[in-house]
Chain A
């Protein structure tokens, strides 16, 4: 399928990328292109200008923060995350989950920031970043702001990143003996998600984020024993969508199952 005519710019700095995004009404950031290109083929998106972030090395860095946390550049590819020693040392769950996204070719170009900003309800990283308490740094013409994950995901395909703005990095707090887990049921191995759950457990308390059951990740707090997790999910009064892959009832059932599995993984 041919794409509709579009203009293309390759900024040489992050500041220039933000200027370009702000200067053109129909401008859109092009990260790995593993979602956007296909959405453009289907004419579900019709940007006037693509601002290609691929040349911006400053958006690719993965590093540890001085207080023991982790910083992921928005343009780090999923493959880079799976191989990063910094990720392995601090939040190995991120590498584990990134390695389950789609397939090798897609992970070679697909980025952390792209997965988060597309905020497709079937994506793995929005619930994971929610459970881990990540903070997103957004840059715009008026400067930088830090948005916690809980305020970042606004609706299906929409986030706190406004037109003219750019997600530059994702910051994970130091773990302080916190342990993480993730579980999902997908269509085929590493396929499209039916329901997923991420959990982060500390001192018998779990932060759980459920994906694919609502427009945005559903964040729950619970004690980490199985009965408590099950009743927390039941108490959330979820109203998940039905589609050809799973009925609402089945998703509701799975939400409990994957939440228990994610918490169990985080507790071992």
Chain B
């Protein structure tokens, strides 16, 4: 595939980079990334991957746009209130870059559908806001041998890490199992600064772009944390998988996906 003159101009700032060049840009154009959650994290990830020319972007979310989302979910506008988030994000993506093919999945992601959905993609973005979904995404990615980037945000804090099959610990190696109910407040209860979603979402987009182009080093075996109040970025070294992980270890006890109960306050009907 040769780049057209229009593509050469659109992606010139990428092509200028030694680490990307036209070869890296072609890889981006051929890449497929699925974003689970079209909210605070999923919006900036979708916008930046669209601008970067990622050829196929999947977007999964069951929700519709709510007024309280607009403080941080920057791909949705006031005119989108009540619209499915996957449709709203798709429109924003295509307004930026009509070359991008967008697949939408307007459904709750659970054990019955997640493996089927992620199977078609090269990289998975966890843009969800609850632990049940995060463990589900991790376990499904381990089972399907899919690389993914986890992230979470709360108040003025954010964190992310990347899992590459066979190269480092998975989310469950690090966090083991669901925290007890109500041990950790959700964004809905505790609040989150809007720009935090942008900072961490952009870092997730950066991980996806580096994975696709092969540039630089990924956050494998490391947890990046950001404390926005004190302007502190930290990288916490994670222990490698010790072989005892319930899902990615040598003798996994989790071989089928399970749906954890989500605290009811997180479900909006």
Indicate whether A and B interact: no
